[in-house]
Structure 1
Amino acid sequence: MTRLPLAAPIHPIRMLDANATETGGDAAPFGNLPEWDLSDLYTSADAPELKRDLDWLETACRSFAEDFEGKLGTLDAPAFLDCVKRNERISAVAGRIMSFAGLRYYQLSTEGERVKFLSDMQDRITTFTTPLVFFTLEINRLPEDYLDKLFSQDAELARYKPVFDRIRAMKDYQLSDELEKFLHDLGVVGDAWEKLFDETIAGLSFTVMGEELNIEGTLTLLTDHERPKREAAARELARVLAANLRTFARVHNTTAKEKEVIDRWRGMPTAQTARHLSNHVEPEVVEALRNAVVAAYPRLSHRYYELKRKWLGLDKMQVWDRNAPLPTEAPKTVGWDEAKETVLTAYAGFSPRMAEIAQPFFDKGWIDAGVKPGKAPGAFAHPTVTDVHPYVMLNYLGKPRDVMTLAHELGHGVHQVLAAGQGEMLASTPLTLAETASVFGEMLTFRAMLSKAETKEQKKTLLAGKVEDMINTVVRQIAFYDFECKLHEARRGGELTPDDINAIWMSVQGESLGPAFEFMEGYETYWAYIPHFVHSPFYVYAYAFGDGLVNALYAVYEDQPEGFQDKYFEMLKAGGSKHHKALLEPFGLDASDPAFWDKGLSMIEGFIDELEAMED
């Protein structure tokens, strides 16, 4: 039951369309980009407070096992509450240590000392917490009526019932105590494959038109105004990925096989089951989402990209045209201060409280924004622990889409701040709801920018950009989900060659992107750089879930604005303490209704309708 944040953020790295040259914290022309101040966790890797917490953690885990192992079924309500609170305190201290180690690592993932420090902390905390494995196993052996009786006797203890419900959802898939301890200890080996992936990605070098770039710089060129530059970046990305494809294939083969072995021993019916359980979402809800999106491909991505093909004056679009600017869109660099003002103003337009919660991220060193050699690519928000605060990582390079990424990650941050009051065990939100505040933050920022558009072309540019972002969030992520489903199923039949994985990747691309595209040789390798497939298998459907949910929420906000803000903040404050049905009920929404997803998708269709109308 102990929640141990790993090196990977709770919300895995979100790959950006980022750009240009590598910069430090003082990055002209973007302004003075902020860097993390991690001293709210620990002042340094050799801080005496860190040693103190490690010593405390070792003792606390040992004494917890001595006091409670084999005795959970004999405790009265006050003693059981004491047990829960002690476990929660262990989670908080372990989470603080791992957050510090992980955030330092992601700042500079190629530096040997930081890599070693992270590995050492993972090893020590895994060893310390091995005696705690009994806790969830023993909980699942307790009679249901025994737990219900304890909850009925103590209101404070009853608050933790959702945690126990999630634990007991794993009851049918639990192994013996010895095997569970073995898998706990073996976890650091699986983490090593994730680190190999991260370090390989961070160490890649690309040369585009004579300029040496990291992966962020190369990906951002796919959004450049100059088509030859986009093509050169796309082909260089394919060349470098192909040169490293055996490594990426080995990582995927190993992590997928490890998952298959564990799932088989646990009796999981599908490779996706564990994700659905951890998300506290029914498989049929995810299947309804997936089917609704796939059925909508022709109405969404196919229709939009056909429009864009005409705008670009092309017979066929190539992969380097997918996120290209419109011909009428003027090149624009957005400075950091302008990005900050844009997002905070949009947040304040929804509620001053939302902007107030976001402001300290800028003022107190809670954001690391610059692109630097060795820094992990992408963006994330990491909640650390509930008695500190979240941290946001960006790779900011002044693109308009970087502003939306800032809005997205700050949405996570606001959510994490509000949920912190639930405590360590209840603050963490299931992934299906974790993307709600982030996507809502993007929607608020987009709507604020759209309201200021002065010309038809400005409105068209903003609408097209939003549609592309929504397609990337919904269509692309469901295509990614299908890729993972096929990958894990195929791996059950044996080792996959790089060509096998390439073929699986291409099997979902044409279907999702549509007939406007043809695919260059080399595009089949692009699966290799997506971190979610390695760090958090099947995470990606959470993005589509969040977008559909937010579209439905925003429709309620537009129809019934009175009192919406209060209900919205209450939903975020709930963290992981409520099921999605209970959270959405005040808004009159139900994600288990298949028609729910069509409501969300209809907003994207509406934007495309507007764009088509502009052609008349």
Structure 2
Amino acid sequence: MLHLPFPVQDANAGSGDKGFGDLPEWDLTDLYPSEDAPELRADLDWLEKECSAFAEAYEDKLADLDAAGLYECVQRNEKINNIAGRIMSFAGLRYYQHTTDAGRAKFMSDCQEKITLFTTPLVFFTLELNRLDDDALDQHFASHSELARYKPVFDRIRAMKPYQLSDKLEKFLHDLGVVGDAWEKLFDETIAGLTFFLDGDEYGIEGTLNFLTDQDRDKREAAANELARVFGENIRTFARVHNTQAKEKEVIDRWRGMPTPQTGRHLSNDVEPEVVEALRNAVVSAYPRLSHRYYELKRKWLGLDRMQVWDRNAPLPMETQKTVGWDEARKIVTDAYAGFDPRMADLAEPFFTDGWIDAGVKPGKAPGAFAHPTVTNVHPYVMLNYLGKPRDVMTLAHELGHGVHQRLAAPQGEMLSSTPLTLAETASVFGEMLTFRKLLETAKDQKERKVLLAGKVEDMINTVVRQIAFYDFECKLHEARRGGELTPDDINAIWMSIQAESLGPAFDYMDGYETFWAYIPHFVHSPFYVYAYAFGDGLVNALYANYEENPEGFQEKYFDMLKAGGSKHHKELLAPFGLDASDPKFWDKGLSMIEGFIDELEAMED
């Protein structure tokens, strides 16, 4: 029952140019002053002793506890979660700042191994909880209101009951976790260490991906070919990581009796498989009305007979090469947040002033962007790779949305603050929407409005269409892996089988594009995570439509939803807004907003 906080890199982290001001770096001293700090050593010592004492006090005894005793047990477990999470947050954030630094990598590995060793005696906790009698547990909840607050946590734990293994096997899998983590580290270090050459200069992955949004088509083509070259040279390593992790998952799922590779993700997300299936089907059926239609428009704007993959994120011809300085980006986002509710801007302010953001692109730094919640008695940290383009402003708005959400949910405590991934994207995507709407309101002419609308549609396609295509890729990959080892060509073929369907007939596909699955971190760090983006976007579109239709009292309901963290199911959280994600029509409502923006863009052509 150990819930270590872990950042998952966001999918659409931006790109851009130099010359955007002084960028902030993390100050991690709110966690620990240094890796050899006495406070850190004291916490490691405490954790080792407390895990042992916890097991001695409660193993084989949970069924004998009264409500007050079980509540005290939960409180002690939560404190263990907090200290372990604090240690791993510090180690992990230092590592993500410089993944190719051997000392930082060793420090994180050593911390992970120690915490895994210390917490192995705790494996009994969830196993015994799942053996408790339902009626007895209900009586405990009825008689103890503070314990009853944790019922959603118990419910999520007990949802795993049908898939639980023996105590000995569960402890074995717990200990083996550090081996699986090693494959994730191999992926991170390989990605961060890749070197690309363009026009005689050397770049990392972020700087090279940046060229795919350059105004100059020749530069975009050169970058795409260089990405393909380097991915191709390293494809055996990436294929080995995917093969190993997919096989490990298949073995564990088979032993647990999970019916599909996706089952574990749905359970951890506290979402029903049929809801995800309804979302997936709604998006796939909308491909022709969304991505296919938009990219055909973009093909005409670019004056091309055929689009190439390096044109997918190209700027529009009428778009000026704009660099957004850091101070301007900060003002845009905080003004948009304050326009919705001043409390949003207040919650975001310390990220800028107190060392809670690491924004610059640096050698060895992990690619992408994330907001890491750390632990509930510290604060979140946001990582960006800020390169000054308007899309980077949206990434800042997105990650600050996560940060605000995490701050609001923190009073729930370690076990209840963590929001299931399907709802974890709500505040981030809502923050993007607020920022976009603010920019749209202040557009000075039709040309600027068109650029803003097109940019938003592209972001939504990347968040909805592209992520559902990623989800389909993962489903096919894990299914194919059950039949045996996959060669790089096998994985390449699976990737290409979903690309044309999602992007549409406007595109041709360069040689080498078949390897572009290799750099997506979600496939390695968090299998089947990606549908959470589409879930979040559809949810926010429906929420924003609700805000426009019924603005009275919306802010309070919205804040209440964020403050709830993981203490309520999505049905409960959406009920005050009159929304229900289990209704298939719900997703059509969200997708219709994207269609509306494309309609407006098409009307501008007349």
TM-score normalised by structure 2 residue count: 0.99
Corresponding residue for 1:32? 22
Corresponding residue for 2:244? 254
1:482 to 436, 460, 472: 472
Corresponding residue for 2:566? 576
Corresponding residue for 1:24? none
1:285 to 255, 275, 297: 275
CA distance in 2, matches of 1:180, 1:66: 18
Q: Give the aligned residue type for 2:564.
A: A
Instruction: Tell me how many residue pairs correspond in the alignment.
Output: 606
> Does residue 374 of the first structure (1) align with residue 364 of the second (2)?
yes
CA distance in 2, matches of 1:560, 1:575: 24
In the alignment, is the contact (CA less than 8 A) between 1:15 and 1:530 conserved in 2?
A: no
CA distance in 2, matches of 1:15, 1:513: 16
CA distance in 2, matches of 1:406, 1:17: 9
Give CA deviations for 1:131-187 in whole Å, capped at 9, x if unaligned.
000000000011100110100110000000000000000000000000000000000
* SS at structure 2 position matched to 1:281: coil
Corresponding residue for 2:288? 298
1:507 to 497, 504, 509: 497
* SS at structure 1 position matched to 2:202: strand
Corresponding residue for 2:225? 235
Corresponding residue for 1:459? 449
In the alignment, is the contact (CA less than 8 A) between 1:411 and 1:437 conserved in 2?
A: yes
Q: Give the aligned residue type for 1:446.
A: F
2:543 to 543, 546, 553: 553
> Does residue 76 of the first structure (1) align with residue 66 of the second (2)?
yes
In the alignment, is the contact (CA less than 8 A) between 1:255 and 1:534 conserved in 2?
A: yes
CA distance in 2, matches of 1:4, 1:434: 16
Corresponding residue for 2:305? 315
In the alignment, is the contact (CA less than 8 A) between 1:14 and 1:380 conserved in 2?
A: no
> Does residue 161 of the first structure (1) align with residue 151 of the second (2)?
yes
CA distance in 2, matches of 1:31, 1:612: 37
Name stretches of at least 5 consecutive residues in structure 2 with no aligned partner: none
Report the CA distance between 1:15 and its aligned residue: 4.7
* SS at structure 1 position matched to 2:507: coil
Corresponding residue for 2:264? 274
Report the CA distance between 1:17 and its aligned residue: 3.6
1:40-59 counterparts in 2 under 5 A? 40-59=30-49
Report the CA distance between 1:239 and its aligned residue: 0.4
In the alignment, is the contact (CA less than 8 A) between 2:9 and 2:368 conserved in 1?
A: no
Corresponding residue for 2:593? 603
Corresponding residue for 1:350? 340
CA distance in 1, matches of 2:355, 2:446: 39
CA distance in 2, matches of 1:443, 1:231: 31
Give CA deviations for 1:183-223 in whole Å, capped at 9, x if unaligned.
00000000000000000000000011222110000101000
1:492 to 449, 472, 482: 482
Give CA deviations for 1:489-523 in whole Å, capped at 9, x if unaligned.
00000000000000000000000000000100000
Give CA deviations for 1:465-496 in whole Å, capped at 9, x if unaligned.
00000000000000000000000000000000
Give CA deviations for 1:440-463 in whole Å, capped at 9, x if unaligned.
000000000000001110000000
> Does residue 184 of the first structure (1) align with residue 184 of the second (2)?
no
Give CA deviations for 1:32-76 in whole Å, capped at 9, x if unaligned.
100000000000000000000000000000000000000000001
Q: Give the aligned residue type for 1:430.
A: P
In the alignment, is the contact (CA less than 8 A) between 1:17 and 1:222 conserved in 2?
A: no
In the alignment, is the contact (CA less than 8 A) between 2:12 and 2:395 conserved in 1?
A: no
CA distance in 2, matches of 1:174, 1:367: 39
Report the CA distance between 1:12 and its aligned residue: 3.2
Corresponding residue for 1:473? 463
Corresponding residue for 2:13? 16
Identity %: 79
Report the CA distance between 1:13 and its aligned residue: 4.2
In the alignment, is the contact (CA less than 8 A) between 1:483 and 1:508 conserved in 2?
A: yes
RMSD, matched Cα: 0.7
CA distance in 2, matches of 1:186, 1:493: 24
1:148 to 117, 128, 138: 138
Report the CA distance between 1:110 and its aligned residue: 0.4
* SS at structure 2 position matched to 1:392: strand
- Structure 1 runs of 4+ aligned residues shifted over 4 Å read none
Report the CA distance between 1:14 and its aligned residue: 3.3
* SS at structure 1 position matched to 2:382: strand
> Does residue 3 of the first structure (1) align with residue 38 of the second (2)?
no
Corresponding residue for 2:524? 534
> Does residue 328 of the first structure (1) align with residue 318 of the second (2)?
yes
1:215 to 202, 205, 224: 205
Q: Give the aligned residue type for 2:71.
A: L
* SS at structure 2 position matched to 1:424: coil
